[in-house]
């Protein structure tokens, strides 16, 4: 690809050398999608071969009440809004029971910040899941929710980690990072913890033996430089802890948010973001293309542009759909595996920690 100006980056990628922030910016400036794809795919196949992971999971968004007023969110309502709901531990247990026939391995539980919920609630809903379905793993609470839990617990973070683990928490999702930039934080989500606090809390989780994911909400007011900076910050923490499992770029959905004047992300941007994340995050094992956010079509194509994980069956996604997502709220296992196999990849069902689910269980 002479003339692209990316020969030096290409050499680095082939030799397994780490890319710099400047390299990241040059990749964003490149319109040659297939060059980016070729490089990202090299890294992807080195790390994960032809495998594409997926999970069978259920989402439970336990409350839509939130006091953070994030401008990019269409899901939340304020405290006292009649449209607000909060699931009781019994409700959560019922939601789990309703899907007892589904052979899921993961319950993904995230929600708004409802300041009236006591510390015990957060322990109780995890226990409720485990009581109803002991074999399933609970991946719950973004760092934003953890900050709230610590606030109402009035206990040191380390004790909270221990008690959440004891209640049954298995791992942490990657949400709430948004864009790790003080400028974007001040503009869009200033009531949430700062980027530095988010990163410190992730470090703390990893030290406590909890693995977590990391996300980035892109496609709104952030610049390419801020996206690159976000990736570098995650890479730095990962060098220290090794605790991140996967990076998940989240495409911004403008509908019904305070930023509804902005257009949705493009297919090109979605694929470039996946590819550049794969190239920059040399110490992350996995890059996930979350089909709820980018569409099943782009997720399938992304398996050649750096992604090795397509998320999962997802029963009843509500947060992105509040922002006008046109994607389905779930996909069947056979639909997912067809998408993966047709793209020439090998589907492997995993649990939240990327352990393959044995074939006998998968056939259930």
Partner 1 sequence: MSRAGGISDIERKVGAGSRITREDALRLFAHHDLPALGAMADAVRHRFWPDPVVTYVIGRNLNYTNVCWVRCRFCAFYRPPGSVEGYTLTRDEIGRKIQELVDLGGREVLFQGGLNPSLKLDYYLETFRWIKQNWDVHIHGLSPAEILYIAKMAELPLADCLTALKEAGLDTVPGAGGEILVDRVRKILAAGKDMSDEWIDFMRTCHVLGIRTSSTMMYGSVETLEERAEHLDRLRGLQDQTGGFNSFIPWSFQPEQTEMPGVARATAFDYLRTLAIARIYLDNIPSIQASWVTQGPKIAQVSLRFGVNDFGSTVIEENVVSAAGTTYRMDIDEMERLIRDAGFTPMLRDTAYRILGPYQRPASASALIRRGLAPPIVAGEARAGAAPLSPVN
Note whether 205 and 173 are within 8 A (CB). Answer: no
Q: Which position among 342, 353, 356, 364 is part of the footprint of partner 1 (CB under 8 A)?
A: 342
Examine residue 267 and tell whether it contacts partner 1 (CB under 8 A): yes
Provide the minimum distance between the beta carbon of 342 and partner 1 in the complex, in angstroms, as a whole number: 6
Q: Which is nearer to partner 1, 52 or 87 (CB)?
A: 52
Contacting residues for 156 by C-beta, under 8 A, at least 6 apart: none
Selected range binding partner 1 among 79-87, 134-142, 317-325, 334-342, rule: CB under 8 A:
334-342
Pick out residues in 130-159 that bind partner 1 (CB under 8 A).
none
Note whether 193 and 201 are within 8 A (CB). Answer: yes
Helix and strand totals (H; E) in the chain: 16, 10
- Exposed (0-12), middle (13-18) or buried (19+): which is 62, by Cβ within 10 Å? buried
Provide the minimum distance between the beta carbon of 205 and partner 1 in the complex, in angstroms, as a whole number: 34
Cα-based angle 186, 190, 192 (whole degrees, multiple of 5)? 140
Q: What is the DSSP letter of 70?
A: -
Contacting residues for 220 by C-beta, under 8 A, at least 6 apart: 72, 188, 252, 254, 259, 262
Examine residue 260 and tell whether it contacts partner 1 (CB under 8 A): no
- Look up residue 333 and give its two tokens: 């296992």
φ/ψ of residue 4, rounded to 5: -80, -15
Examine residue 343 and tell whether it contacts partner 1 (CB under 8 A): yes
Q: Which is nearer to partner 1, 29 or 191 (CB)?
A: 29
Provide the minimum distance between the beta carbon of 294 and partner 1 in the complex, in angstroms, as a whole number: 8
- Exposed (0-12), middle (13-18) or buried (19+): which is 241, by Cβ within 10 Å? middle
Give the whole-angstrom CA distance, residue 233 versus residue 184. 15
Q: Which is nearer to partner 1, 157 or 298 (CB)?
A: 298
Q: Which position among 4, 10, 20, 38 is part of the footprint of partner 1 (CB under 8 A)?
A: 38
Which residue has 């030799």 as its token pair? 15
Binding to partner 1 by CB under 8 A, coded x per residue (else -) over 287-326, reads -------xxxxx-xx-xxx---------------------
Q: Which position among 5, 16, 21, 49 is part of the footprint of partner 1 (CB under 8 A)?
A: 49
Q: Which position among 2, 263, 359, 360 is part of the footprint of partner 1 (CB under 8 A)?
A: 263
Q: Which is nearer to partner 1, 90 or 342 (CB)?
A: 342
Examine residue 41 and tell whether it contacts partner 1 (CB under 8 A): yes
Note whether 108 and 59 are within 8 A (CB). Answer: yes
Give the whole-angstrom CA distance, residue 8 versus residue 331. 41
Q: Which is nearer to partner 1, 238 or 295 (CB)?
A: 295
Provide the minimum distance between the beta carbon of 300 and partner 1 in the complex, in angstroms, as a whole number: 5
Interface residues toward partner 1, by CB under 8 A: 31-38, 41, 45, 49-50, 263, 266-271, 294-298, 300-301, 303-305, 338-339, 342-345
């Amino acid at each position: 690809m002479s003339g692209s100006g990316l020969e030096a980056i290409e050499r680095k990628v082939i030799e397994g050398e780490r890319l710099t922030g400047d390299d990241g910016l040059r990749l964003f400036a490149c319109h040659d999608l297939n060059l980016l794809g070729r490089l990202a795919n090299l890294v992807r196949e080195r790390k994960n071969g032809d495998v594409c992971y997926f999970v069978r999971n259920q989402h439970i968004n336990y409350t839509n009440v939130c006091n953070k007023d994030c401008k990019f969110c269409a899901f939340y309502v304020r405290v006292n809004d009649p449209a607000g709901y909060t699931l009781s531990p019994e409700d959560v247990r019922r939601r789990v029971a309703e899907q007892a026939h589904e052979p899921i391995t993961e319950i993904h539980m995230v929600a708004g910040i409802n300041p009236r919920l006591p510390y015990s609630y957060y322990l109780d809903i995890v226990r409720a899941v485990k009581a109803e379905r002991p074999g399933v793993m609970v991946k719950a609470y973004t760092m934003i929710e953890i900050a709230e839990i610590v606030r109402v617990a009035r206990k040191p973070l380390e004790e909270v980690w221990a008690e959440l683990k004891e209640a049954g928490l298995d791992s942490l999702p990657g949400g709430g990072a948004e864009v790790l930039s003080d400028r974007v934080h001040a503009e869009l989500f200033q009531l949430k913890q700062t980027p530095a606090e988010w990163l410190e809390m992730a470090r703390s989780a990893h030290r406590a033996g909890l693995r977590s994911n990391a996300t980035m909400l892109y496609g709104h007011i952030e610049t390419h430089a801020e996206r690159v900076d976000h990736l570098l910050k995650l890479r730095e923490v990962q060098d220290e802890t090794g605790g991140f499992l996967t990076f998940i770029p989240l495409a911004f959905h403008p509908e019904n948010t305070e930023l509804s004047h902005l257009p949705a992300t493009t297919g090109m941007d979605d694929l470039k973001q996946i590819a550049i994340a794969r190239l920059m995050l040399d110490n992350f094992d996995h890059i996930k293309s979350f089909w709820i956010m980018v569409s099943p079509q782009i997720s399938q194509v992304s398996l050649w542009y750096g992604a090795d994980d397509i998320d999962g069956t997802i029963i009843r996604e509500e947060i992105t759909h509040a922002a006008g997502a046109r994607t389905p709220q779930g996909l069947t296992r056979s639909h997912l595996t067809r998408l993966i196999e047709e793209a020439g990849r090998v589907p492997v069902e995993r649990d939240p920690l990327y352990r393959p689910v044995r074939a006998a269980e998968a056939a259930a």
